[in-house]
């Protein structure tokens, strides 16, 4: 039933999956594992890793696909025992080009030749900023709901932000936000926590309009996420069986007997 398969040794597969969980779809700012893009992880005795992944449509933007493939390769290659990583994107209009490019550690512009124009730096940057904005509004909404007035948030430093909530949900939101805070500039302890896309602080009276603008970015991303999940499920004709372990169960280290069969 599941399109996912895994080969032993299980602990190494889990390590690979944990690394893959750090790789995000640049547009959706969600992990490729959470999104159910990763379909297969194989580790052989020499430390060679083979990954397969898929996307919601045959047409999904090639630049995003390339970014994800590159990030997956690099994330897995960082494990000390890994000797080789191969990444295979399936059922995509540019599968061949992308898979070859990643295998030969080519840059995007080399892989695509005349079809590309320049590199992916700007695209990566654009979507990191959107991720920063979306994470900020999620965190700010949480803190406003917890009773912080907007003026207090505008004045908060990064250091103060770390200790301003002690709920697990709040802590997770803080961490997620701080992981992207340096996208827009210096992020030392004394820097303001909530800044605009240029790293500038936001005046207390401008804080609510500032958040509203960010909310538009967030809604857009969530909308895209919902669409992509729907398309992925429709394309691979999948309905989630709640009893069946998923990739996430592996990462959360469920008992071995509940894991999906290999192969």
Partner 1 sequence: MYKTKDGEEIFIIDGHVHLWDGSPANQRNKHGEEFINCFFGYHTALSPKEEVWPRAKFEKYGAETMYEDLFVKGYDDMAIFQPTYLKDFYKNGFNTLEQNASLGVRYPDRFIINGAFDPRDGEAGIAQMEEDVAKYKLKGVKLYTAEWKGDSKGYKLSDDHAKRFLEHAEKLGIKNIHVHKGPTILPLNRDAFDVADIDDAATCFPNLNFIVEHCGLPRLDDFCWIGVQEPNVYGGLAVALPFIHSRPGYFAHIISELLFWLGEDRLLFGSDYGIWTPKWLVDQFMTFELPEDVRKETGVNLSLEAKKKILGLNAAKLYNIDIAAKKAAHSATHSVAAE
Residues forming contacts to partner 1 in the complex (CB under 8 A) are 27, 56-63, 93, 108-109, 112, 115-120, 122-123, 126, 212, 215-217, 219-220, 222-224, 226-227, 230-231, 233-235
Supply the minimum distance, in Å, between the C-beta of residue 34 and partner 1: 18
User: Whole-angstrom Cα distance, residue 78 to residue 20?
Assistant: 11
Q: Which of 22, 57 has the CB closer to partner 1?
A: 57
Cα distance from N-terminal residue to C-terminal residue, the chain: 12
- 263: which residues sit within 8 A by CB, 6+ positions away? 5, 7
Of the pair 109, 196, the CB lying nearest partner 1 is at 109
Q: Write down the least CB distance from residue 214 to partner 1, Å.
A: 9
Task: Report, in Å, the least distance between residue 41 CB and partner 1.
Answer: 26
Query: What does the alpha-carbon distance between residue 27 and residue 48 come to, in Å, rounded to a whole number?
Result: 29
- As given in the structure block, the two tokens for residue 169 are 């949900």
Q: Work out how close the CB of 128 gets to partner 1 at its nearest, in angstroms, rounded to a whole number.
A: 13
Nearer residue to partner 1 within complex by CB, 55 or 87: 55
Closest CA to 137 of 166, 173, 163: 173
- Beta strand 24-25 with 30-31: parallel, antiparallel or unpaired? antiparallel
Q: Measured from the CB atom, is 195 or 217 closer to partner 1?
A: 217
CB of 32 to partner 1, least distance (A): 18
- Smallest gap from Cβ 163 to partner 1, in A, equals 29
E strands, 4-144, in order: 5-6, 24-25, 30-31, 38-43, 48-53, 84-89
Please say which residue, 56 or 192, places its beta carbon nearer to partner 1.
56
In whole angstroms, give the CA distance from residue 215 to residue 219: 6
> Using CA atoms, how far apart are residues 215 and 171, in angstroms rounded to an integer?
20
> CB-wise, 119 or 167, nearer to partner 1?
119
Is residue 136 within 8 A of residue 158, CB to CB? The reply is no
Shortest distance in whole angstroms from residue 93 CB to partner 1: 7
Closer of 208 and 252 to partner 1 (Cβ): 208
Strand partners, 85: 49
127 in Cβ contact with 73 (< 8 Å): no
């Amino acid at each position: 039933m599941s399109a996912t398969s895994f080969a032993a040794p299980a602990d190494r597969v889990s390590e690979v999956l944990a690394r893959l969980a750090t790789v995000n779809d640049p547009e959706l700012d969600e992990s490729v594992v959470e999104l159910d893009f990763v379909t297969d992880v194989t580790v052989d005795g020499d430390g060679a890793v083979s990954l397969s992944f898929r996307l919601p449509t045959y047409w999904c933007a090639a630049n995003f696909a390339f970014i994800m493939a590159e990030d997956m390769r690099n994330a897995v290659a960082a494990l000390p025992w890994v000797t080789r990583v191969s990444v295979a994107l399936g059922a995509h209009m540019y599968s061949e080009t992308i898979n070859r490019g990643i295998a030969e550690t080519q840059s995007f512009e080399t892989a695509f030749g005349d079809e590309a124009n320049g590199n992916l730096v700007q695209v990566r940057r654009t979507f990191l900023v959107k991720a920063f904005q979306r994470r900020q509004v999620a965190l700010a909404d949480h803190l406003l709901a917890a009773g912080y007035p907007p003026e207090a948030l505008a004045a908060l430093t990064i250091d103060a932000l770390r200790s301003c909530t002690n709920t697990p949900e709040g802590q997770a939101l803080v961490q997620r936000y701080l992981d992207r805070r340096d996208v827009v500039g210096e992020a030392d302890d004394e820097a303001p926590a909530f800044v605009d896309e240029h790293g500038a602080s936001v005046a207390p009276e401008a804080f609510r309009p500032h958040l509203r603008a960010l909310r538009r970015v967030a809604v857009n991303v969530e909308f895209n996420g919902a669409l992509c999940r729907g398309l992925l499920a429709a394309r691979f004709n999948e309905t989630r069986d709640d009893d069946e372990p998923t990739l996430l169960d592996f990462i959360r280290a469920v008992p071995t007997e509940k894991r999906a069969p290999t192969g």
